[in-house]
Amino acid sequence: MHHQWLLLAACFWVIFMFMVASKFITLTFKDPDAYSARQEFLFLTAMPDAGRSLGEKRFPEELKPTGKMASGSRLVQPLVYVQRLELIRNVCGEEALRNLSHTAVSRFVLDRIFVCDKHKILFCQTPKVGNTQWKKVLIVLNGAFPSIEEIPENVVHDHEKNGLPRLSSFSDAEIQKRLKTYFKFFIVRDPFERLISAFKDKFVHNPRFEPWYRHEIAPGIIRKYRRNRTETRGIQFEDFVRYLGDPNHRWLDLQFGDHIIHWVTYVELCAPCEIKYSVIGHHETLEDDAPYILREAGIDHLVSYPTIPPGITVYNRTKVERYFLGVSKRDIRRLYARFEGDFRLFGYQKPDFLLN
Q: Which pLDDT belongs to residue 232? A: 80
The residue-averaged pLDDT of 287-295 equals 97
Q: Which residues of 245-255 are buried (b: 16+ CB within 10 A; e: fewer)?
A: bbeebeebbee
Please give the Cα distance from 135 to 141 (Å, whole number).
10
139: closest CA among 159, 169, 111, 110?
A: 159
Q: Which pLDDT belongs to residue 153? A: 87
β-pair type (121-124, 183-188):
parallel
Please give the Cα distance from 115 to 178 (Å, whole number).
9
Please give the Cα distance from 178 to 181 (Å, whole number).
5
DSSP H helical segments within 31-122, as ranges?
34-46, 79-92, 98-101, 107-112
How sure is the predictor about 4, in pLDDT bands with cuts at 50, 70 and 90? low
Q: Could you tell me the pTM of the whole model?
A: 0.78
DSSP H helical segments within 167-316, as ranges?
172-181, 191-199, 212, 218-225, 237-245, 250-256, 266-270, 286-296
Please give the Cα distance from 170 to 181 (Å, whole number).
15
* 63-67, 75-79, 150-154, 230-234: the lowest-pLDDT one: 63-67
Inter-residue long-range contacts of 49-54, CB under 8 Å, 24+ positions, other chains counted: 49/85, 49/276, 49/278, 50/180, 50/276, 51/180, 51/181, 51/182, 51/183, 51/184, 51/276, 51/277, 51/278, 52/278
Mean pLDDT of the chain: 83
338 alpha carbon, distance to own chain's centre: 20
How sure is the predictor about 236, in pLDDT bands with cuts at 50, 70 and 90? very high
Counting beta carbons within 10 angstroms of the beta carbon of residue 311, is it exposed (0 to 12), middle (13 to 18) or buried (19 or more)? exposed
Whether residue 335 contacts residue 213, with contact meaning beta carbons closer than 8 Å, is answered with no
Q: Which pLDDT belongs to residue 33? A: 32
Counting beta carbons within 10 angstroms of the beta carbon of residue 306, is it exposed (0 to 12), middle (13 to 18) or buried (19 or more)? middle
Please give the Cα distance from 69 to 304 (Å, whole number).
21
Please give the Cα distance from 52 to 56 (Å, whole number).
7
Task: Compare 4 and 49 and report the one with higher pLDDT.
Answer: 4
The residue-averaged pLDDT of 290-312 equals 95
Direct distance between the N- and C-terminal alpha carbons of the chain, in angstroms, rounded to an integer: 104
Q: What share of the chain is helix, strand, coil (3-state, %, to 5)?
A: 60, 5, 35
Predicted confidence (pLDDT) per residue in 19-29, tens digit: 544 433 333 33
73 alpha carbon, distance to own chain's centre: 21
Q: What is the DSSP secondary-structure string of 180-195? A: HHSEEEEEE--HHHHH
Task: Compare 47 and 348 and report the one with higher pLDDT.
Answer: 348
